[in-house]
């Protein structure tokens, strides 16, 4: 069974679940929010940008950065809205919601189910959602930022397979092309780092699943690894990470305009271990944040940052 995207033009987020209407309350357990305990339209109804990324600290830093970029009470401590759950962290800065999703498809999936219901219950409109993250580059310089035009699985197919009641449901991983181009144009204005558009391969594992030779298990040769990664490169893959297919599928089906922007921490054609210093890695991780801040400022008509 194949499901396709759900963008309808109304601007609302679509939840595609008839059971939700008959529930007296919807508890968003992992976000520590609920439709009875919280006034979700009042708390979140004006959110226009949702930015998600793996690490809770990085997403707090991003929210603080956005607070400064939008001129909103710089320096004030931002509360973690989901602190009570101890699973994900959520911060808001004006119309921007910044949320962590952990590592891998199961973790981002749980967060996205609840986030999409949150945006629905809050009656948010015209929301743009962006995943910012880290990745392994393929044939590109470390520190380059890749804007994904197509999320593919480890067989280079633009699809996400979800097992539902024991059956495999295939979902499209299409992302918003205009948004990717808009982000690339933004990067041309601000970036002092290489930025490109390319396919992103999403895997279920960091080690064997990404063809690494340095995990606790490895049953293939260096030649086989390079043959696989070269094949990926030849199909247009420029970076590898662990969430993009599920992110693209869920956001697409629920009518959210979505993009994936990841910095490459290394070139996987050259090695497996991440050897850059903490300082260098920290600066790399700021690159997607700076690009998204510039994009949001532009969308809000604020002009370039000073």
Interface ranges with ligand URA (CB under 6 A): 134-136, 206, 210, 240-242, 265
Cα–Cα distances in angstroms (integers) from residue 285 to residues 23, 91, 133, in the given order: 41, 18, 7
Binding part of the chain for ligand R2B, among 70-78, 165-173, 235-243, 283-291 by CB under 6 A, reads 235-243
The residue to which tokens 């952990």 are assigned: 102
Question: Measured at CB, which residue is nearest to ligand URA?
Answer: 136
The nearest distance, CB 262 to ligand URA, in angstroms, is 8
Determine if 133 is a binding residue for ligand R2B (CB under 6 A): yes
Dihedral of CA 217/220/223/229: which sign? negative
Of these partners, ligand R2B, ligand URA, none, which one is at the site of residue 243 (CB under 5 to 8 Å by kind)?
A: ligand R2B
Q: Please measure the distance between the N-terminal and C-terminal CA atoms of the chain and give it in whole angstroms.
A: 50
DSSP reduced 3-state for 266: strand
Radius of gyration of the chain (CA): 19
The nearest distance, CB 239 to ligand URA, in angstroms, is 8
Using CB under 6 A, pick the residue from 54, 56, 137, 143 that binds ligand R2B.
54
Query: Do the Cβ atoms of 245 and 202 come closer than 8 Å?
Result: yes
Of these partners, ligand URA, ligand R2B, none, which one is at the site of residue 103 (CB under 5 to 8 Å by kind)?
A: ligand R2B
The nearest distance, CB 108 to ligand URA, in angstroms, is 12
Q: Could you count the other beta carbons within 10 Å of the beta carbon of residue 72?
A: 14
Which chain residues interact with ligand R2B by CB under 6 A?
54, 103, 133-135, 206, 241-243
């Amino acid at each position: 069974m194949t499901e396709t995207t759900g963008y309808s033009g109304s601007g609302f987020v679509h939840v595609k679940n008839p059971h939700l209407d008959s529930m007296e309350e919807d508890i968003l357990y992992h976000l520590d929010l609920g439709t009875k305990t919280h006034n979700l339209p009042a708390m979140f109804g004006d959110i226009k940008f949702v930015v998600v990324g793996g690490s809770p600290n990085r997403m707090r830093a991003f929210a603080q950065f956005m607070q400064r970029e939008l001129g909103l009470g710089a320096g004030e401590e931002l509360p973690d809205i989901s602190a009570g759950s101890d699973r994900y962290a959520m911060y808001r800065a004006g119309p921007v919601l910044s949320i962590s999703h952990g590592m891998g498809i199961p973790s981002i999936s749980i967060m996205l189910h609840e986030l999409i219901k949150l945006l629905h219950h809050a009656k948010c409109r015209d929301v743009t959602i962006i995943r910012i993250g880290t990745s392994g580059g393929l044939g590109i310089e470390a520190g380059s930022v890749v804007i994904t035009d197509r999320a593919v699985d480890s067989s280079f197919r633009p699809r996400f397979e979800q097992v539902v009641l024991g059956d495999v449901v295939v979902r499209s991983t299409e992302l918003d092309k205009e948004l990717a181009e808009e982000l690339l144009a933004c990067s041309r204005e601000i970036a002092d780092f290489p930025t490109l558009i390319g396919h992103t391969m999403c895997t279920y594992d960091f080690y064997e699943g990404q063809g690494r030779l340095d995990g606790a298990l490895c049953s293939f040769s260096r030649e086989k690894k390079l043959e696989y990664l070269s094949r990926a490169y030849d199909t247009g893959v420029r970076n590898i990470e662990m969430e993009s297919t599920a992110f693209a599928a869920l956001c697409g089906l629920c009518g959210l305009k979505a993009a994936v922007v990841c910095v490459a921490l290394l070139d996987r054609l050259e090695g497996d271990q991440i050897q850059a210093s903490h300082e260098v890695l920290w600066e790399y991780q700021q690159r997607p944040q700076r690009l998204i801040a510039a994009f949001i400022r532009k969308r809000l008509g604020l002009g370039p940052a000073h």
